[in-house]
Amino acid sequence: NFLFYFGRLFSFLFNATRLSFDISVRISAETVQHHPVANNVSRHFFMLLAVGASRIRNL
């Protein structure tokens, strides 16, 4: 029961952080457009974060 509640809380937090990441990515996309290296790094970081979150959810 506690595990179920924790899973619900984690998915809610994950969705909220993903939404804020989408917003911040759109904001930073304007400034990062002139720096392709930083753009690549941030894209890699967000991809790794999403993969890690889905792996944690699957455990």
Give per-10-residue mean pLDDT for the chain (59 aa): 81 80 73 64 76 76
**Can you say how many angstroms the Cα of residue 2 is from the centroid of all Cα atoms in its chain?**
25
Q: In this structure, are residues 25 and 4 in contact, taking their beta carbons and an 8 Å threshold?
A: no
- Residue 59: its pLDDT value, please? 62
- Residue 21: its pLDDT value, please? 78
For residues 55, 44, 8 and 16, what is the CA-based torsion angle, rounded to 10 degrees? 180
Extended beta strands in the chain, E state: none
Read off the pTM. 0.36
- Residue 16: its pLDDT value, please? 79
